[in-house]
Amino acid sequence: MSILKKISLIALMTLASFSAIAFDHDYREWNSLLAKHVKVAPDGYSSRVDYRGMAADQAQIKTWLKTVSAVPEAEYKQWPKAKRLAFLINGYNAWTIELVLSKYPDLKSIKDLGSVFQSPWKKKFIPLFGQEMALDDIEHGLIRAPGAFDDPRIHAAVVCASIGCPMLRAEAFTADKLDAQLEDGMRRFLADSSRNRFDAANGKLQVSKIFDWYGKDFEKGHQGFASLKITFGRYAGQLAKTQEAQERIRQGDYKLEFLDYDWRLNDASASGRR
């Protein structure tokens, strides 16, 4: 190998090492923004976002998102699975907030950012891995890609800035806590009776439309989820308060009903307004 090639190889290895060290997998900057602007409900089952506060700190959000966009795809692919998933979830949630801020406060729902011809989730505005991506590309093309992560609990982690969706956590996802955070997110979501509940009097298990849209993700056997019945049985303690009701859920003794989805913006300044 020539001296020039050796120097070039060393330079590339140095840059790769610097890039790996430079990216903060503890997500301290994003974590501080979430802790500052996400308002968790007293019961701990839902949250609202202080978009006015996020707008005031938008320069900080943009700066942090540049560090996400700067990660080369080759480097990303070398990370362990948990690091890759935490990276994508945090990026997705931050870019969702960026999309909302592009028209805030002149919108009542993230759907207002779409049109007859294009949903907001298909807008190509995200620079990632040398491409212009949409939120759908991250969620469906990367996170939900078969064999990539295979964890249906991501549906309680990637959020859509709406009251009907699972809560945005007041902390960043990190690889070392990822499994616990995903499990905690599912438990909190299913414990929220405004979005998931068991009506013992009528024998109805009323759940979020998410389980209708993505029911197949809970039927593939990943992470122990082999059906919606098994899923709801696993979280019977969150869906119902009494032992009798919980046992009915575990046995599948109910009529399943999907609730209407609340697409109103999860804006902290609008909490309490119906």
DSSP string, 69-135: HTS-HHHHHHS-HHHHHHHHHHHHHHHHHHHHHTTTTS-SBGGGG--SS--GGG---EEETTEEE-H
Identify the pLDDT of residue 117: 80
Confidence of residue 241 (pLDDT cuts 50, 70, 90): very high
Q: Using pLDDT thresholds of 50, 70 and 90, give the confidence band for residue 273.
A: very low
DSSP 181: H
Report the distance separating Cα 212 and Cα 210, nearest Å: 5
7 pLDDT exceeds 90? no
| Spatial contact of 166 and 156, defined as CB atoms under 8 Å apart | yes
Question: According to the model, what pLDDT value does residue 3 have?
Answer: 58
Q: Does the pLDDT of residue 87 top 60, yes or no? A: yes
Q: Which tokens in the block code for residue 104?
A: 């805030």
Q: Rg of the Cα trace of the chain?
A: 21
d(CA 189, CA 208): 9
| Average pLDDT of the chain to the nearest whole number | 92
Residue 184 · residue 47 · CB < 8 Å? no
**Is pLDDT of 15 > 90?**
no
Supply the pLDDT for residue 262.
98
201: left (phi over 0), alpha (psi -120 to 50) or beta: alpha
Token pair belonging to 217: 């993700």
pLDDT at residue 71, as a whole number: 97
Evaluate whether 211 touches 162 at the Cβ level (below 8 Å).
no
- Dump pLDDT digits (tens) for 88-129: 999 999 999 999 999 999 999 999 998 878 899 999 999 999
Q: How is residue 165 annotated by DSSP?
A: S
- pLDDT band (50, 70, 90) for residue 72: very high
Report the 10 Å Cβ neighbour count for 40. 15
Strand partners, 128: 131
In the predicted structure, residue 6 carries a pLDDT above the cut 90: no
